[in-house]
Amino acid sequence: MFEFFYKRPYLLYSVIAALFIMGVVGLITMPKNLFPDSDRPKVIVVSKVPGATPAVVAATVSKPIEEEVSTLALVREVSSINMAGVSVVTVEFEYKKGLDAAAVDVNNAINKVKAKLPQGVNPAIYTAGSFTLPVDVFALSPKDKTITVADIRKIVESDIKPALLRDSRIGNVEVFGGYQGAITINIDPLKLKKMNIPLSKIGEIIYTTNKDIPVGFTISKDNFYTITIYGERDIIERLKQLPVAPNITLSQIADIKWDFQKRFAGYLGNGKESIAVAVQRAPGGSVLDTSTAAREIIDKLKNRYKNINFELTDTQRILINTANRNMLEALRDAIIFTLIVILLFLGNIRAIIAALISIPMVFFSTLAIIWMFGGELNIVIYTAIILALGMLVDDAVVVLENIERHLSELKNDLETSIVQGTKEVIMPVFAGTVATSIIMVPFLFVGDFPQKIFRPLISTLLIALAASYFLSITFIPHFSKILYRKGHEKTKFEKLLEKIYQNTFGRLVNLYLGVLKFSNGNRLKLFRKMILIVPVIMFFLFSLRNIMPTIGGDLMPPMDTGIIKVHLKFSSNETTEQVEKRLADFVKWLHSKKEVVMSSIAVGSEPGILSIGSGSLPTEVTMTINCVDRFHRKKSIWELEDEIRTKLRSLKNVKDVDVYDFGATALSSIKAPLDVRLFSEDYNYLPSIAHNVVKELYKVKGLRSVNISWDNDFVETKLIVDENKTLAYGITPLQVAMQLPLKGVPVSINGNLHTLQLQFLRLYSKSPFEENPDSLKMIPINTPKGTIPLSQIAKIKYDITSARIERDNMLYSIDVNGYRAVRPVSMITEDSVEALKNVDHAGVIVSQEGDIKQMKDSFSRMIKAIGIGVVLLLMALIAIYRTVILSFVMIFVLPLAMIGAAWGMLIFNKPRCMPSLVGILLLFGIIIKNSVLLVDFYQEFRAKGESAFEAALESVRVRFRPVFMTAFGTIAGMLPIAFERAVGLERLSPLADVAVGGLLIGTILTLIYIPMFAYISDRKK
């Protein structure tokens, strides 16, 4: 490759220019997100069952659907939430399935199971994933009294939502906030009795009369005519005149108006009652492109609707822009730190210039390849490039140094020095690149969550390493012609730097040489070597045994993104309106805090809306609070959470308060960092046992809040119908229920031909029958023997029941969720297991379903990948150097670097986690590269006829400076990551913490033990 491109400079510069231009294009146009999409494919099935209790919903709808979808291939988990009138079944698949294939399979399963579901139940299917999280949420509220929130909902549904969806950059738009439009028909039961009209007849007349009925068509030679009877009452006044009996119209027995359904959801945007418009990206789409499109459209709509206030209440854009800007700043700092280290160690301005030129080339070449393969930019990609800096510079400097050695020491001319100097180091540079790369390859195929989140990082590292190797042996030799055209003499400044180096780090060479000479002394050689080896091994075992348990373990460390999540539960029998009133004072207090930028508060949920309030009861509140980023505020996110938690707990009728940071769990499917899930075939026993678990978990150190996912806390009104009495009157209990229009069931659909919107016609009982359960006793019931009051055949009873029931893996389940601040999950889980020993849970299955479950699986996969990587590395070294012994020598020092890795995590106060395991992998790659160069020079000196011991000494003399420069250059480059100089970097900083600590110790040990074991094991010595 070197000779090919050296003879074709124009081709080389054309390739470099093309990669540079494509890299710039990629930097500008590639989708930008915070982290790679890591959620597994999820399909959600929502079914409406009007009037059914959670128990009935679970037994008649959710259970048959669960049983059918569980038979599908690659299903990981099936769960359901069952509320009054609504079933929500979630099917989570393995990554291999793919979202489209998952949706098709679930749709086919639903078609098969429909026959088993109650009549009139029509499940709707939705796909979910990282793209479900809203990119932007806009709150629309009235500016004045000329418009109401209900009016705004109609405008949003008919105009604003379609306007947003017409832009291809927007994946989906969801509308939330209650006030769903409907033509309500409030019937007066007393008037029905007086006019002797059965309630069932009213529903039947509306259903059969108020719809379009095509009755036939005629065909002529040239034309096709359709004849239709239009029965729709698209005007309220005409609907009022609908005949329901001879000489009786609908308006005589009911109040009819274009209103909204009974509210079970509400929305507060920045403290104002609003309608939320949640904009979502398409799967794999760009957050920033979607946000840009939405904001452009909203800006235009503001001019059209001047009496509507448009406010941004939640966004991913600020976080992603801040994180990407921070990462570019961190990259800049890493380059500066790395160049300073090179300057201090080499005292060579030419090396600095070469590094300064090669770094952007490698950066843009890497981005070009990522862009060509359809990748995206995120924190993980930037982190990989920063991590590679030290290694990238090393390749260029090794080539440049050897060319300069030929010029200064061998006195060759420039052309000969470039050709011979480059050829001499091609093999060690290639071997180092291969060794570093091959140990990382298994991580590309580790599977499941670790592969999904870290494959982009490993891929980027491999691309950067390949680009660095290519440029170091093609561009650097050509660039050397420019650098050395006026000679190779050092400037006064360079000589000063050289003097400083020789009086500082340079003196350490003699220390290393002294250690090697001590190991090969004339007396007690074995004892001397044991003195050097045994303490290190003992310290290695001590570090692993004592430090690892001390620091604990996490799947991914907590991070301060400036976004706070809140889940709040009020008494189950309160109304949505009451909850909104109770929040009023809190919202004022919240927005008085200087750290708070915006807030998005959802009360309850709406069927089919996944991005806001999904699955919440009407008295449950979910909040997203955006704060100033951590670089511009004094308080940490966890301090702010404590203040908010304390304030919320003071609210009247509050049952549970969970306040936690955005990204509290690594995956959205993990409900909480600590999730103790109880399973049973009978749901009645679960809440009482769960409460006992809560009491014990409150004793666990580090937990800020503990709650249960559902409870028996809903006051239910039961209508006890006396079957004997109903039979005596000639009717059945079902016929009695049909005469009680309390469910708001749609009996027809009214089409607005102007806006192409549909409005449901819903039947309700007129006040007071709807509001006061006791007043139901007065409702007249029509029987074959005359009209009687409901109290004649039924009694009203009050009972405590569940407002929600959950199922998981075809068993009833309840989750006891615990949220922490920063204490590692492994420690919290261990303490919770001990606490659960005090709970009697006979007949109930207990399982740990929080972060710990995924952590164990991920750790197992990653440790196997590291082991496979080391084996592949050993095989590659044997193949390259054709020596088994020296290959094992190079591998030997890798575990010893774990000493520094363990202490690095302890000093930086980070737990062992997935990023720290990747850091170990990276550490091994850098250490092995230095080992390769030491062994390569050792073999070179042996080939010149020097003894094994002298060759070991010479390898240290020659490679001491480059090895230390590579180590400290890499450490310097990692400092912005280790010190978390970007929002979101808390998640990946353990990677740098491990590498920094490991490199400090590993480099020291490499320069001692690689040469020592090389001469000890040399059979030809």
**CATH code for the domain of 376:** 1.20.1640.10
Predicted local distance difference test score (pLDDT) of residue 223: 42
Which CATH number fits the domain that encloses residue 748?
Answer: 3.30.2090.10
pTM, entire model: 0.84
Predicted local distance difference test score (pLDDT) of residue 199: 66
Predicted local distance difference test score (pLDDT) of residue 1020: 66
| Claim to verify: residue 864 and residue 722 sit in the same structural domain | no
Rounded Cα distance between 421 and 419, Å, is 6
| Claim to verify: residue 797 and residue 854 sit in the same structural domain | no
Per the domain annotation, does 142 fall within a domain? no
| Claim to verify: residue 909 and residue 775 sit in the same structural domain | no
Q: How far apart are the first and last CA of the chain?
A: 36
Torsion of CA 250, 256, 261, 267, to 10 degrees: 180
| Claim to verify: residue 475 and residue 539 sit in the same structural domain | no
> Which among 448, 463, 489 is the end of a domain?
489
| Claim to verify: residue 860 and residue 1009 sit in the same structural domain | yes
| Claim to verify: residue 966 and residue 1007 sit in the same structural domain | yes
Per the domain annotation, does 784 fall within a domain? yes
Cα→Cα distances 991→6, 326, 334, 827, 976, Å: 38, 18, 15, 21, 12
| Claim to verify: residue 47 and residue 4 sit in the same structural domain | no
Per the domain annotation, does 473 fall within a domain? yes
Per the domain annotation, does 430 fall within a domain? yes
> Which among 780, 801, 822 is the end of a domain?
801
Count other C-beta atoms under 10 Å from residue 36's C-beta. Answer: 18
Q: Name the stretches of the chain with pLDDT < 70.
A: 181-182, 199-200, 203-204, 206-235, 258-261, 390-391, 716-717, 734, 737-776, 1019-1021
Check whether the bond before 768 is cis (ω within 30° of 0). yes
Q: Among 171, 73, 211, which residue's Cα sits nearest to residue 750?
A: 211
Crossing angle of helices 851-881 and 448-483, rounded to 10°: 40
| Claim to verify: residue 868 and residue 971 sit in the same structural domain | yes
Which CATH number fits the domain that encloses residue 97?
Answer: 3.30.70.1430
| Claim to verify: residue 976 and residue 928 sit in the same structural domain | yes
Per the domain annotation, does 876 fall within a domain? yes
| Claim to verify: residue 987 and residue 870 sit in the same structural domain | yes
- Residues β-bridged to residue 806: 81, 813
Positive or negative torsion for Cα 1010, 1012, 1015, 1019:
negative
| Claim to verify: residue 888 and residue 997 sit in the same structural domain | yes
Q: Among 1003, 887, 888, which residue's Cα sits nearest to residue 936?
A: 887
Cα→Cα distances 979→203, 363, 386, 996, Å: 68, 22, 13, 11
Per the domain annotation, does 867 fall within a domain? yes
Per the domain annotation, does 679 fall within a domain? no
Predicted local distance difference test score (pLDDT) of residue 615: 76
| Claim to verify: residue 962 and residue 1015 sit in the same structural domain | yes
Per the domain annotation, does 25 fall within a domain? yes
Domain count, the chain: 4
> Which among 97, 128, 159 is the end of a domain?
128
Span 753-810, pLDDT tens digits: 333 333 334 444 444 544 555 666 777 787 888 888 888 888 877 777 788 899 999 9
For residue 639, the one-letter residue type is E
Structure token pair of residue 88: 């929500």
Count other C-beta atoms under 10 Å from residue 227's C-beta. Answer: 9
Predicted local distance difference test score (pLDDT) of residue 901: 92
Task: Name the DSSP letter for residue 810.
Answer: T
Domain that holds residue 200: 189-211+241-252+715-801
